[in-house]
Protein backbone atom coordinates (compact mmCIF):
# COMPACT_ATOMS: atom_id res chain seq x y z
CA UNK A 1 0.00 0.00 0.00
CA UNK A 2 1.52 3.40 -0.93
CA UNK A 3 2.44 5.73 1.94
CA UNK A 4 -0.39 8.03 2.94
CA UNK A 5 -3.18 5.58 2.16
CA UNK A 6 -3.63 4.90 5.87
CA UNK A 7 -5.66 8.13 5.92
CA UNK A 8 -7.41 7.62 2.58
CA UNK A 9 -8.72 4.10 2.58
CA UNK A 10 -12.03 5.46 1.33
CA UNK A 11 -10.64 5.64 -2.21
CA UNK A 12 -9.62 1.99 -2.03
CA UNK A 13 -13.07 1.30 -0.62
CA UNK A 14 -14.55 2.93 -3.72
CA UNK A 15 -12.47 0.72 -6.00
CA UNK A 16 -13.46 -2.35 -3.98
CA UNK A 17 -17.10 -1.33 -4.30
CA UNK A 18 -16.75 -1.02 -8.10
CA UNK A 19 -15.18 -4.48 -8.39
CA UNK A 20 -17.55 -6.25 -6.02
CA UNK A 21 -20.66 -4.94 -7.77
CA UNK A 22 -22.13 -3.26 -4.73
CA UNK A 23 -21.55 -1.62 -1.39
CA UNK A 24 -22.03 -3.76 1.73
CA UNK A 25 -21.19 -3.65 5.40
CA UNK A 26 -18.60 -6.38 4.73
CA UNK A 27 -16.81 -4.10 2.24
CA UNK A 28 -16.81 -1.34 4.81
CA UNK A 29 -15.39 -3.57 7.58
CA UNK A 30 -12.81 -5.05 5.23
CA UNK A 31 -11.23 -1.65 4.62
CA UNK A 32 -9.79 -1.76 8.15
CA UNK A 33 -7.94 1.47 7.56
CA UNK A 34 -8.10 2.78 11.11
CA UNK A 35 -8.70 6.22 9.66
CA UNK A 36 -11.20 8.86 10.63
CA UNK A 37 -14.08 6.95 9.04
CA UNK A 38 -13.77 3.84 11.20
CA UNK A 39 -15.82 3.19 14.35
CA UNK A 40 -19.21 4.80 14.75
CA UNK A 41 -19.18 6.48 11.35
CA UNK A 42 -18.44 3.15 9.68
CA UNK A 43 -21.38 1.51 11.47
CA UNK A 44 -23.65 4.30 10.35
CA UNK A 45 -22.49 3.88 6.76
CA UNK A 46 -23.13 0.13 6.93
CA UNK A 47 -26.59 0.66 8.34
CA UNK A 48 -27.34 3.24 5.63
CA UNK A 49 -26.24 0.85 2.92
CA UNK A 50 -28.50 -1.95 4.15
CA UNK A 51 -32.03 -2.62 3.10
CA UNK A 52 -33.89 -4.27 0.32
CA UNK A 53 -32.31 -3.62 -3.08
CA UNK A 54 -35.74 -3.88 -4.68
CA UNK A 55 -37.00 -0.78 -2.90
CA UNK A 56 -36.13 1.44 -5.93
CA UNK A 57 -33.33 3.76 -6.99
CA UNK A 58 -33.66 5.93 -3.86
CA UNK A 59 -33.87 3.09 -1.33
CA UNK A 60 -31.08 2.65 1.26
CA UNK A 61 -29.64 -0.36 -0.56
CA UNK A 62 -29.66 1.15 -4.04
CA UNK A 63 -26.43 1.72 -6.01
CA UNK A 64 -27.10 5.49 -6.01
CA UNK A 65 -27.17 5.62 -2.18
CA UNK A 66 -24.12 3.38 -1.97
CA UNK A 67 -22.30 5.74 -4.32
CA UNK A 68 -23.16 8.72 -2.13
CA UNK A 69 -21.84 6.87 0.93
CA UNK A 70 -18.55 6.05 -0.80
CA UNK A 71 -18.15 9.67 -1.91
CA UNK A 72 -18.84 10.89 1.63
CA UNK A 73 -16.04 8.68 2.93
CA UNK A 74 -13.67 9.83 0.20
CA UNK A 75 -14.33 13.52 0.77
CA UNK A 76 -13.95 13.16 4.55
CA UNK A 77 -10.20 12.57 4.11
CA UNK A 78 -8.13 15.76 4.29
CA UNK A 79 -6.14 16.19 1.08
CA UNK A 80 -3.44 17.99 3.04
CA UNK A 81 -2.77 14.76 4.96
CA UNK A 82 -1.86 12.82 1.80
CA UNK A 83 1.67 12.51 0.49
CA UNK A 84 2.38 12.99 -3.21
CA UNK A 85 2.24 9.31 -4.15
CA UNK A 86 -1.17 8.98 -2.51
CA UNK A 87 -2.39 12.09 -4.34
CA UNK A 88 -1.27 10.61 -7.67
CA UNK A 89 -3.01 7.30 -6.96
CA UNK A 90 -6.21 8.99 -5.88
CA UNK A 91 -6.21 11.36 -8.86
CA UNK A 92 -5.98 8.36 -11.18
CA UNK A 93 -8.83 6.62 -9.35
CA UNK A 94 -11.01 9.75 -9.37
CA UNK A 95 -10.39 10.37 -13.07
CA UNK A 96 -11.35 6.82 -13.97
CA UNK A 97 -14.43 6.97 -11.76
CA UNK A 98 -15.51 10.25 -13.40
CA UNK A 99 -15.22 8.66 -16.83
CA UNK A 100 -17.29 5.67 -15.72
CA UNK A 101 -19.92 7.92 -14.15
CA UNK A 102 -20.11 9.98 -17.31
CA UNK A 103 -20.67 6.78 -19.26
CA UNK A 104 -23.52 5.94 -16.91
CA UNK A 105 -24.97 9.43 -17.26
CA UNK A 106 -24.96 9.14 -21.06
CA UNK A 107 -26.73 5.78 -20.92
CA UNK A 108 -29.34 7.13 -18.50
CA UNK A 109 -29.95 10.23 -20.66
CA UNK A 110 -30.28 8.09 -23.76
CA UNK A 111 -32.70 5.72 -22.03
CA UNK A 112 -34.89 8.58 -20.80
CA UNK A 113 -35.15 10.28 -24.19
CA UNK A 114 -35.74 6.93 -25.93
CA UNK A 115 -38.64 6.08 -23.60
CA UNK A 116 -40.20 9.50 -24.11
CA UNK A 117 -39.79 9.18 -27.89
CA UNK A 118 -41.31 5.68 -27.93
CA UNK A 119 -44.30 6.83 -25.90
CA UNK A 120 -44.76 9.81 -28.22
CA UNK A 121 -44.64 7.43 -31.19
CA UNK A 122 -47.36 5.24 -29.69
CA UNK A 123 -49.53 8.24 -28.92
CA UNK A 124 -49.06 9.60 -32.44
CA UNK A 125 -49.91 6.24 -34.01
CA UNK A 126 -53.08 6.06 -31.92
CA UNK A 127 -54.22 9.53 -33.03
CA UNK A 128 -53.02 9.45 -36.64
CA UNK A 129 -50.38 12.16 -36.17
CA UNK A 130 -46.87 12.41 -37.61
CA UNK A 131 -44.83 9.97 -35.50
CA UNK A 132 -41.42 11.28 -36.59
CA UNK A 133 -42.17 14.82 -35.51
CA UNK A 134 -43.69 13.58 -32.28
CA UNK A 135 -40.50 11.62 -31.50
CA UNK A 136 -38.30 14.63 -32.21
CA UNK A 137 -40.44 16.89 -30.05
CA UNK A 138 -40.43 14.37 -27.18
CA UNK A 139 -36.63 14.03 -27.35
CA UNK A 140 -36.15 17.80 -27.22
CA UNK A 141 -38.52 18.07 -24.29
CA UNK A 142 -36.73 15.29 -22.40
CA UNK A 143 -33.34 16.91 -23.02
CA UNK A 144 -34.63 20.29 -21.84
CA UNK A 145 -36.15 18.68 -18.76
CA UNK A 146 -32.83 17.05 -17.85
CA UNK A 147 -31.00 20.34 -18.44
CA UNK A 148 -33.41 22.18 -16.13
CA UNK A 149 -33.45 19.47 -13.47
CA UNK A 150 -29.70 18.94 -13.27
CA UNK A 151 -28.53 22.44 -14.27
CA UNK A 152 -26.85 21.21 -17.42
CA UNK A 153 -26.46 23.39 -20.47
CA UNK A 154 -28.63 22.47 -23.42
CA UNK A 155 -25.52 21.30 -25.29
CA UNK A 156 -24.51 19.06 -22.36
CA UNK A 157 -27.92 17.39 -22.36
CA UNK A 158 -27.81 16.84 -26.11
CA UNK A 159 -24.25 15.51 -25.98
CA UNK A 160 -25.06 13.02 -23.22
CA UNK A 161 -28.09 11.76 -25.13
CA UNK A 162 -26.25 11.50 -28.44
CA UNK A 163 -23.30 9.61 -26.94
CA UNK A 164 -25.64 7.17 -25.25
CA UNK A 165 -27.56 6.69 -28.50
CA UNK A 166 -24.44 6.14 -30.60
CA UNK A 167 -22.94 3.61 -28.22
CA UNK A 168 -26.17 1.69 -27.67
CA UNK A 169 -25.60 -0.53 -30.70
CA UNK A 170 -21.85 -0.95 -30.19
CA UNK A 171 -21.26 -3.21 -27.22
CA UNK A 172 -17.45 -3.26 -27.41
CA UNK A 173 -17.10 0.52 -27.51
CA UNK A 174 -19.71 0.87 -24.78
CA UNK A 175 -17.73 -1.57 -22.63
CA UNK A 176 -14.56 0.49 -23.11
CA UNK A 177 -16.53 3.62 -22.13
CA UNK A 178 -18.12 1.90 -19.12
CA UNK A 179 -14.82 0.69 -17.65
CA UNK A 180 -13.17 4.11 -17.92
CA UNK A 181 -10.78 3.47 -20.82
CA UNK A 182 -12.51 6.05 -23.02
CA UNK A 183 -13.17 9.66 -22.02
CA UNK A 184 -16.62 10.91 -23.12
CA UNK A 185 -15.46 12.91 -26.13
CA UNK A 186 -13.26 10.04 -27.33
CA UNK A 187 -16.21 7.66 -27.04
CA UNK A 188 -18.41 9.94 -29.15
CA UNK A 189 -15.71 10.35 -31.83
CA UNK A 190 -15.09 6.60 -31.95
CA UNK A 191 -18.78 5.71 -32.20
CA UNK A 192 -19.36 8.33 -34.88
CA UNK A 193 -16.50 6.86 -36.93
CA UNK A 194 -17.44 3.21 -36.54
CA UNK A 195 -21.08 3.69 -37.55
CA UNK A 196 -19.92 4.33 -41.13
CA UNK A 197 -17.93 1.08 -41.34
CA UNK A 198 -18.93 -2.57 -41.48
CA UNK A 199 -17.44 -6.05 -41.17
CA UNK A 200 -13.66 -6.41 -41.17
CA UNK A 201 -13.15 -2.68 -41.80
CA UNK A 202 -15.10 -1.86 -38.65
CA UNK A 203 -13.10 -4.27 -36.50
CA UNK A 204 -9.81 -3.07 -37.98
CA UNK A 205 -10.73 0.53 -37.28
CA UNK A 206 -11.91 -0.28 -33.74
CA UNK A 207 -8.60 -1.88 -32.79
CA UNK A 208 -6.56 0.99 -34.20
CA UNK A 209 -8.69 3.66 -32.59
CA UNK A 210 -8.94 2.06 -29.16
CA UNK A 211 -5.13 1.92 -29.08
CA UNK A 212 -4.92 5.56 -30.20
CA UNK A 213 -7.50 6.69 -27.61
CA UNK A 214 -5.23 5.54 -24.81
CA UNK A 215 -2.46 7.90 -25.96
CA UNK A 216 -4.07 10.93 -27.62
CA UNK A 217 -6.05 13.93 -26.44
CA UNK A 218 -9.46 14.58 -27.98
CA UNK A 219 -8.25 16.91 -30.74
CA UNK A 220 -5.51 14.56 -31.95
CA UNK A 221 -7.83 11.56 -31.58
CA UNK A 222 -10.40 13.29 -33.76
CA UNK A 223 -7.76 13.72 -36.45
CA UNK A 224 -6.88 10.04 -36.17
CA UNK A 225 -10.55 9.07 -36.53
CA UNK A 226 -10.93 11.18 -39.67
CA UNK A 227 -7.70 9.78 -41.11
CA UNK A 228 -8.76 6.17 -40.49
CA UNK A 229 -12.20 6.74 -41.99
CA UNK A 230 -10.76 8.43 -45.09
CA UNK A 231 -8.30 5.56 -45.57
CA UNK A 232 -11.08 2.94 -45.39
CA UNK A 233 -14.09 4.65 -46.98
CA UNK A 234 -13.48 7.92 -48.83
CA UNK A 235 -17.17 8.38 -49.64
CA UNK A 236 -18.13 8.20 -45.94
CA UNK A 237 -15.29 10.59 -45.09
CA UNK A 238 -16.58 13.10 -47.65
CA UNK A 239 -20.11 12.84 -46.29
CA UNK A 240 -18.70 13.63 -42.85
CA UNK A 241 -16.91 16.66 -44.29
CA UNK A 242 -20.16 17.88 -45.82
CA UNK A 243 -21.93 17.51 -42.46
CA UNK A 244 -19.19 19.53 -40.78
CA UNK A 245 -19.53 22.19 -43.48
CA UNK A 246 -23.20 22.57 -42.55
CA UNK A 247 -22.11 23.42 -39.00
CA UNK A 248 -19.96 26.39 -40.09
CA UNK A 249 -20.72 29.62 -38.28
CA UNK A 250 -19.24 32.98 -37.44
CA UNK A 251 -20.51 35.86 -35.34
CA UNK A 252 -19.34 39.43 -34.84
CA UNK A 253 -20.84 41.65 -32.17
CA UNK A 254 -19.89 44.43 -29.80
CA UNK A 255 -19.91 43.87 -26.06
CA UNK A 256 -21.34 46.14 -23.39
CA UNK A 257 -17.84 47.19 -22.29
CA UNK A 258 -16.67 48.29 -25.74
CA UNK A 259 -14.98 45.21 -27.22
CA UNK A 260 -15.58 43.57 -30.57
CA UNK A 261 -16.17 39.83 -30.05
CA UNK A 262 -15.50 37.48 -32.96
CA UNK A 263 -16.06 33.73 -32.87
CA UNK A 264 -16.59 31.05 -35.44
CA UNK A 265 -15.78 27.63 -36.81
CA UNK A 266 -15.02 26.35 -40.30
CA UNK A 267 -14.25 22.96 -41.78
CA UNK A 268 -12.07 21.49 -44.49
CA UNK A 269 -10.36 23.78 -46.98
CA UNK A 270 -12.23 26.80 -45.60
CA UNK A 271 -10.77 26.19 -42.16
CA UNK A 272 -7.31 25.68 -43.64
CA UNK A 273 -7.64 28.96 -45.55
CA UNK A 274 -8.61 30.95 -42.46
CA UNK A 275 -5.87 29.40 -40.31
CA UNK A 276 -3.21 29.94 -42.99
CA UNK A 277 -4.16 33.59 -43.45
CA UNK A 278 -4.11 34.31 -39.71
CA UNK A 279 -0.81 32.48 -39.23
CA UNK A 280 0.74 34.55 -42.02
CA UNK A 281 0.12 37.69 -39.96
CA UNK A 282 1.18 36.29 -36.58
CA UNK A 283 4.41 38.00 -35.71
CA UNK A 284 6.87 37.12 -32.93
CA UNK A 285 7.13 39.60 -30.09
CA UNK A 286 9.66 42.35 -30.75
CA UNK A 287 12.19 43.12 -28.00
CA UNK A 288 10.55 44.42 -24.85
CA UNK A 289 7.04 43.28 -25.83
CA UNK A 290 5.38 40.25 -24.26
CA UNK A 291 2.01 39.13 -25.63
CA UNK A 292 -0.02 36.03 -24.94
CA UNK A 293 -0.72 33.62 -27.78
CA UNK A 294 -4.32 34.91 -27.86
CA UNK A 295 -3.08 38.51 -28.14
CA UNK A 296 -0.77 37.61 -31.03
CA UNK A 297 -3.71 35.98 -32.80
CA UNK A 298 -5.93 39.01 -32.12
CA UNK A 299 -3.28 41.32 -33.56
CA UNK A 300 -2.92 39.02 -36.58
CA UNK A 301 -6.67 39.20 -37.28
CA UNK A 302 -6.48 43.02 -37.20
CA UNK A 303 -3.54 43.01 -39.63
CA UNK A 304 -5.36 40.55 -41.87
CA UNK A 305 -8.43 42.81 -41.94
CA UNK A 306 -6.30 45.89 -42.67
CA UNK A 307 -4.54 44.08 -45.51
CA UNK A 308 -7.90 43.10 -47.02
CA UNK A 309 -9.14 46.69 -46.89
CA UNK A 310 -5.92 48.06 -48.36
CA UNK A 311 -5.92 45.55 -51.22
CA UNK A 312 -9.02 47.16 -52.72
CA UNK A 313 -10.66 43.81 -53.51
CA UNK A 314 -13.40 43.97 -50.89
CA UNK A 315 -16.91 44.69 -52.23
CA UNK A 316 -17.77 48.39 -52.36
CA UNK A 317 -20.72 49.99 -50.60
CA UNK A 318 -22.45 52.48 -52.94
CA UNK A 319 -19.21 52.78 -54.88
CA UNK A 320 -17.05 53.43 -51.81
CA UNK A 321 -14.36 50.97 -50.80
CA UNK A 322 -14.84 49.71 -47.19
CA UNK A 323 -12.79 51.61 -44.65
CA UNK A 324 -12.84 52.70 -41.02
CA UNK A 325 -15.08 55.73 -40.61
CA UNK A 326 -14.63 58.18 -37.73
CA UNK A 327 -16.78 61.26 -37.11
CA UNK A 328 -15.11 64.18 -35.29
CA UNK A 329 -16.09 67.78 -34.55
CA UNK A 330 -13.60 70.21 -36.04
CA UNK A 331 -13.90 72.46 -33.00
CA UNK A 332 -13.17 69.50 -30.73
CA UNK A 333 -9.99 68.71 -32.67
CA UNK A 334 -8.83 72.31 -32.29
CA UNK A 335 -9.64 72.21 -28.55
CA UNK A 336 -7.61 69.02 -28.17
CA UNK A 337 -4.68 70.56 -30.06
CA UNK A 338 -4.77 73.60 -27.81
CA UNK A 339 -4.84 71.43 -24.67
CA UNK A 340 -1.83 69.40 -25.86
CA UNK A 341 0.08 72.58 -26.74
CA UNK A 342 -0.66 73.78 -23.20
CA UNK A 343 1.05 70.71 -21.72
CA UNK A 344 -2.10 68.69 -21.00
CA UNK A 345 -2.86 65.15 -22.16
CA UNK A 346 -5.60 66.49 -24.38
CA UNK A 347 -9.19 67.64 -24.26
CA UNK A 348 -12.08 65.28 -23.48
CA UNK A 349 -12.95 64.74 -27.15
CA UNK A 350 -15.20 61.87 -28.21
CA UNK A 351 -15.00 60.24 -31.64
CA UNK A 352 -17.94 58.29 -33.05
CA UNK A 353 -17.55 55.06 -35.05
CA UNK A 354 -20.25 52.89 -36.68
CA UNK A 355 -19.31 49.58 -34.99
CA UNK A 356 -17.61 50.43 -31.72
CA UNK A 357 -19.55 53.59 -30.91
CA UNK A 358 -17.86 56.35 -28.89
CA UNK A 359 -14.07 56.23 -28.54
CA UNK A 360 -11.69 58.63 -26.80
CA UNK A 361 -9.82 60.85 -29.26
CA UNK A 362 -6.45 59.50 -28.06
CA UNK A 363 -7.45 56.06 -29.39
CA UNK A 364 -7.92 57.29 -32.96
CA UNK A 365 -5.23 60.01 -33.20
CA UNK A 366 -2.82 57.66 -34.96
CA UNK A 367 -5.38 57.07 -37.73
CA UNK A 368 -5.16 60.74 -38.70
CA UNK A 369 -1.53 60.35 -39.73
CA UNK A 370 -2.50 58.16 -42.69
CA UNK A 371 -6.11 58.78 -43.60
CA UNK A 372 -8.52 60.39 -45.98
CA UNK A 373 -10.26 63.50 -44.64
CA UNK A 374 -13.62 64.80 -45.80
CA UNK A 375 -15.68 67.75 -44.58
CA UNK A 376 -19.23 66.97 -43.44
CA UNK A 377 -21.48 69.95 -42.75
CA UNK A 378 -24.30 69.36 -40.23
CA UNK A 379 -27.25 71.45 -39.08
CA UNK A 380 -27.91 72.38 -35.42
CA UNK A 381 -29.54 68.95 -34.94
CA UNK A 382 -26.38 67.25 -36.27
CA UNK A 383 -28.13 66.12 -39.44
CA UNK A 384 -25.67 66.09 -42.37
CA UNK A 385 -26.59 68.64 -45.04
CA UNK A 386 -23.42 68.74 -47.16
CA UNK A 387 -20.41 66.48 -47.80
CA UNK A 388 -17.07 67.52 -49.24
CA UNK A 389 -14.60 65.53 -51.33
CA UNK A 390 -12.05 63.33 -49.58
CA UNK A 391 -8.37 64.32 -49.56
CA UNK A 392 -5.45 62.10 -48.63
CA UNK A 393 -2.97 63.01 -45.91
CA UNK A 394 -0.12 60.95 -47.37
CA UNK A 395 0.93 61.97 -50.89
CA UNK A 396 2.08 59.12 -53.14
CA UNK A 397 5.54 60.65 -53.52
CA UNK A 398 6.07 60.78 -49.76
CA UNK A 399 4.96 57.15 -49.42
CA UNK A 400 7.53 56.05 -51.99
CA UNK A 401 10.21 58.04 -50.17
CA UNK A 402 9.44 56.43 -46.81
CA UNK A 403 9.34 52.95 -48.34
CA UNK A 404 12.77 53.46 -49.88
CA UNK A 405 14.22 54.83 -46.63
CA UNK A 406 12.56 52.73 -43.87
CA UNK A 407 11.87 49.39 -45.64
CA UNK A 408 9.26 48.59 -42.98
CA UNK A 409 8.50 49.37 -39.33
CA UNK A 410 11.27 51.49 -37.79
CA UNK A 411 10.95 49.99 -34.28
CA UNK A 412 14.09 48.17 -33.16
CA UNK A 413 13.72 44.44 -33.74
CA UNK A 414 10.37 44.66 -35.57
CA UNK A 415 10.08 42.68 -38.81
CA UNK A 416 6.73 44.09 -40.02
CA UNK A 417 6.87 44.61 -43.76
CA UNK A 418 5.94 47.78 -45.65
CA UNK A 419 2.43 46.53 -46.42
CA UNK A 420 1.67 46.24 -42.70
CA UNK A 421 2.75 49.78 -41.80
CA UNK A 422 1.08 53.14 -41.21
CA UNK A 423 2.71 56.48 -41.84
CA UNK A 424 3.45 58.01 -38.43
CA UNK A 425 3.78 61.72 -37.74
CA UNK A 426 6.90 62.19 -35.64
CA UNK A 427 7.60 65.36 -33.64
CA UNK A 428 4.61 67.32 -35.00
CA UNK A 429 1.44 65.20 -35.20
CA UNK A 430 -1.45 65.84 -37.54
CA UNK A 431 -3.88 66.95 -34.87
CA UNK A 432 -1.42 69.71 -33.94
CA UNK A 433 -1.33 70.88 -37.58
CA UNK A 434 1.89 68.99 -38.24
CA UNK A 435 2.71 68.62 -41.93
CA UNK A 436 4.03 65.40 -43.36
CA UNK A 437 7.53 65.41 -44.74
CA UNK A 438 10.46 62.94 -44.73
CA UNK A 439 11.74 64.69 -41.60
CA UNK A 440 8.36 64.41 -39.84
CA UNK A 441 7.18 60.96 -40.96
CA UNK A 442 8.18 57.30 -40.74
CA UNK A 443 6.69 53.85 -41.23
CA UNK A 444 5.38 51.98 -38.19
CA UNK A 445 3.30 48.81 -37.73
CA UNK A 446 0.02 49.19 -35.91
CA UNK A 447 1.46 47.87 -32.62
CA UNK A 448 4.42 50.25 -32.56
CA UNK A 449 2.38 53.15 -33.88
CA UNK A 450 0.19 52.70 -30.82
CA UNK A 451 3.26 52.39 -28.57
CA UNK A 452 4.63 55.66 -29.96
CA UNK A 453 1.37 57.56 -29.58
CA UNK A 454 0.28 56.22 -26.20
CA UNK A 455 3.15 54.61 -24.32
CA UNK A 456 6.10 56.95 -24.50
CA UNK A 457 8.24 55.25 -27.14
CA UNK A 458 10.79 57.66 -28.57
CA UNK A 459 12.31 58.50 -31.95
CA UNK A 460 16.09 58.40 -32.27
CA UNK A 461 17.83 59.45 -35.46
CA UNK A 462 20.62 57.30 -36.80
CA UNK A 463 22.05 59.68 -39.37
CA UNK A 464 19.21 60.12 -41.88
CA UNK A 465 17.21 57.15 -40.61
CA UNK A 466 14.74 57.31 -37.68
CA UNK A 467 14.56 54.48 -35.14
CA UNK A 468 11.76 53.87 -32.62
CA UNK A 469 12.80 52.63 -29.19
CA UNK A 470 11.06 52.04 -25.85
CA UNK A 471 11.37 54.69 -23.15
CA UNK A 472 14.31 54.34 -20.77
CA UNK A 473 13.53 52.25 -17.70
Q: Is residue 299 situated within a structural domain?
A: yes
Higher pLDDT pick, 9 / 109: 109
Residue count (the chain) = 473
Of 341, 345, 473, 462, the residue nearest 405 (C-alpha):
462
Q: How many CB atoms lie within 10 A of CB 345?
A: 9
Instruction: State yes or no: pLDDT of 45 exceeds 60.
Output: no
- 3 state SS of 303: helix
pLDDT of 379 strictly over 80: no
Residue ending a domain, among 342, 375, 391, is 391
370 and 408 assigned to the same domain: no
Domain termination residue (choose one: 82, 112, 143): 82
- The total domain count for the chain is 5
pLDDT above 80 (res 351): no
Q: Which of 195, 217, 247 is the last residue of a domain?
A: 247
Q: What is the mean pLDDT of residues 405-432?
A: 78
- Residue 137 CA to residue 190 CA, distance in Å, equals 27
* Shared-domain flag, residues 427 and 447: yes
Instruction: Answer whether residue 160 is part of any domain.
Output: no
Please tell me whether residue 470 adopts helix, strand or coil conformation.
Answer: coil
Q: Say what the pTM is.
A: 0.60
Instruction: Answer whether residue 56 shows pLDDT above 60.
Output: no
The CA angle 182-185-190, to the nearest 5 degrees, is 70
Mean pLDDT of 268-289: 85
- Give a yes or no: residue 151 inside a domain: no
Q: Distance (Å, rounded) from C-alpha 100 to C-alpha 372?
A: 63
Beta-sheet pairing, 260-265 with 249-254: antiparallel
**Residues 25 and 43 occupy one common structural domain:** yes
Shared-domain flag, residues 181 and 204: yes
- Residue from 66, 79, 101, 69 nearest 7 by CA: 79
Regarding whether 239 and 173 lie in a shared domain, the answer is: yes
Furthest C-alpha separation in the chain: 94
Question: 138 in a domain, yes or no?
Answer: no
- Ramachandran angles phi, psi of 249, nearest 5°: -165, 155
Evaluate whether 394 touches 370 at the Cβ level (below 8 Å).
Answer: yes
Q: What is the mean pLDDT of residues 113-119?
A: 94
User: Which pLDDT band, with edges at 50, 70 and 90, does 398 fall under?
Assistant: confident
Residues 372 and 403 in one domain: no
Range scoring the smallest mean pLDDT among 99-113, 155-169, 262-276: 155-169
Q: What domain range includes position 277?
A: 263-311
Q: Give the percent of the chain with pLDDT over 70.
A: 75
Is the pLDDT assigned to residue 338 strictly greater than 70?
yes
30 and 67 inside one domain: yes
Rounded to the nearest integer, the mean pLDDT of the chain is: 78
Cα 81 to Cα 159: distance, rounded to the nearest angstrom: 38
Residue 197 has pLDDT above 50, yes or no: yes
In a domain, 254, yes or no: no
CA–CA separation, 91 and 398 (whole Å): 65
Strands 376-378 and 384-387, bridge-based pairing: antiparallel
- Residue 405 belongs to a domain with what CATH number? 1.10.30
Question: CA angle, 451 as apex, 446 and 452 as ends, to 5°?
Answer: 100
Domain membership of residue 122 (yes or no) is no
pLDDT for the residue numbered 125: 92
Per-residue pLDDT band for 19 (boundaries 50, 70, 90) equals very low
> Containing H/E element for 349?
none
Do 304 and 334 share a domain, yes or no?
Answer: no
Separation between Cα atoms, residue 420 and residue 402, nearest integer Å: 13
If asked whether residues 186 and 227 sit together in one domain, one would say yes
How far apart CA 384 and CA 380 sit, in angstroms, is: 10
What sign does the dihedral 290-296-300-302 (CA atoms) show? Answer: negative
pLDDT > 90: what percent of the chain? 24
In a domain, 348, yes or no: yes
Contact 173, 181 (CB under 8 A): no
As a whole number, mean pLDDT of residues 306-312 equals: 76
Helical spans, DSSP H, in 195-324: 199-213, 218-232, 234-246, 268-281, 293-311
Give every CB contact of residue 409 below 8 A, 6+ residues apart in sequence: 415, 416, 420, 421, 443, 444, 445, 448, 468
Chain centroid to Cα 354, Å, comes to 27
Q: For 67-76, 103-112, 274-283, 336-345, which range has the lowest pLDDT when averaged over its residues?
A: 336-345
Q: What are phi and psi of 260, to 5 degrees?
A: -100, 120
Residues forming beta bridges with residue 264, ordered by sequence position? 250
* pLDDT at residue 49 greater than cutoff 60: no
Q: Are 64 and 57 contacting, i.e. CB atoms less than 8 angstroms apart?
A: yes
The answer to whether residues 456 and 400 belong to one domain is: yes
Whether 235 maps to a domain, the answer reads yes
Specify whether 230 is located in the same domain as 280: no
Amino acid sequence: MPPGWARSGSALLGLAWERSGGYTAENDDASGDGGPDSGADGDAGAAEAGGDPDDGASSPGSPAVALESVLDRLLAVEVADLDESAIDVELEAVERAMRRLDARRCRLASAKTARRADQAQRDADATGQDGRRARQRARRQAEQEMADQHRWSASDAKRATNVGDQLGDDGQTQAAFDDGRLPPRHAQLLADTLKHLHGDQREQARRRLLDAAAEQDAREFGRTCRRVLASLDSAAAMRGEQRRHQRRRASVHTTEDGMLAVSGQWSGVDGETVATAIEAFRQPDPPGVHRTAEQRTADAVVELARAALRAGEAPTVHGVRPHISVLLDHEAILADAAAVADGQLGAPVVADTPWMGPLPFAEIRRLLADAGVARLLVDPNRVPVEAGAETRNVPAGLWRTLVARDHGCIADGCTARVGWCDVMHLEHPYHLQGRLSPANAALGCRHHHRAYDLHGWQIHWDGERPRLRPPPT
